[in-house]
Copies of this chain bind each other. A is one copy, B any other.
Amino acid sequence: MQSGETAILLAHCENKDGIFYDIIDFLFKNNGNIVRLDQHVDPDSQHFFIRAEWYVEGFSIPKDKIKDFFTTLVGQKYTLNWQLNYSSTKPRVALFVSKYSHCFYDILSRYDTGKWDIEIPLIISNHDKFAPVAEKFNVPFYHIPITKENKKEQEAKELKLLQEYKIDLIILARYMQILSGDFILHYPNKIINIHHSSLPAFPGSNPYKSAYVRGVKFMGATAHYVTEDLDAGPIITQNVIPISHRESIAEMKRKGTDIEKIVLSEAIWAHINHKVLTYKNKTVVFN
């Protein structure tokens, strides 16, 4: 079997006669050795989604011309939303963290052991609590405390750092601050947050308390892209576990940490492997 660098196409558009065939044609007529092909037509909205991954080596179109050729042969014929990524390009990820450790350690552990093919060039936190942990894992740590008064300038400072470090993806690993709409606009579908409930149930603060008060028999966590509407962005991954009267709020929090960290890491995995398409505030995750 072949190995080596792959090209990954993510595309979606209104389902039109020929779009799927044209993409398949583009790949096969040019000797694309396909690693994985996923396609989906939503029967309710009649929207078309595709993810194709194929080896760069052996493809008739040279790597630096694939975008041009695809634009001409396929992209411009349809109002296609698409992006092309290469497995050789490591996503550059910024970690935003506050005082909760579980997601933070989980991400750093995967990074430290090379499980994820990414770079984490910086950590940003509104507290200095985790500076020693960042040091332990050799990641630069920026302590940027946020208050109502300084939020605008501090976010400007953060944005500057993110630019300097050429960040592709921001992870809010239980970062307990709400980002401004302005900030979010710089990274559309590039900021992943973990919320500690099974959204849309219990948005906002204190979801475990709310779940306890409502007496639900399941609790969960949700990873989603951040949009201006709090806890209302496109959901990438969720998970839930059964609970009963036996779970105190403290126990829900304890169990929640495990769900949160796995749900967040699954979302990151999907994103950095270019498996997520976003459309109409929803995601298609080809897993």
Nearest chain B CB to A8 CB, angstrom units: 15
How far is B36's CA from A244's CA once the two chains are assembled, in angstroms?
A: 16
Partner of A105, one of B109, B266, B284: B109
Give the oligomeric copy count.
Answer: 4
A266 contacts across to B, CB distance below 8 A = 258
A239 contacts across to B, CB distance below 8 A = 218
The stretch among A82-90, A154-162, A167-175, A245-253 that forms the contact with chain B is A245-253
> Does A218 lie within 8 Å of B220, measured CB to CB?
yes
Interface residues of A (CB under 8 A from B): 1, 18, 20-21, 24, 28, 34-37, 39-44, 46, 49, 101-102, 105-106, 109, 112-113, 115, 133, 136, 198-202, 212-218, 220, 234-235, 237-240, 242, 244-246, 248-250, 258, 262, 265-266, 280-285, 287
Q: List 13 A-B contacts (CB under 8 A).
A: A42-B248, A49-B245, A101-B113, A102-B109, A102-B113, A109-B109, A112-B133, A136-B136, A198-B218, A215-B282, A218-B239, A245-B284, A245-B285
How far is B216's CA from A283's CA once the two chains are assembled, in angstroms?
A: 9
A37 contacts across to B, CB distance below 8 A = 20, 39, 41
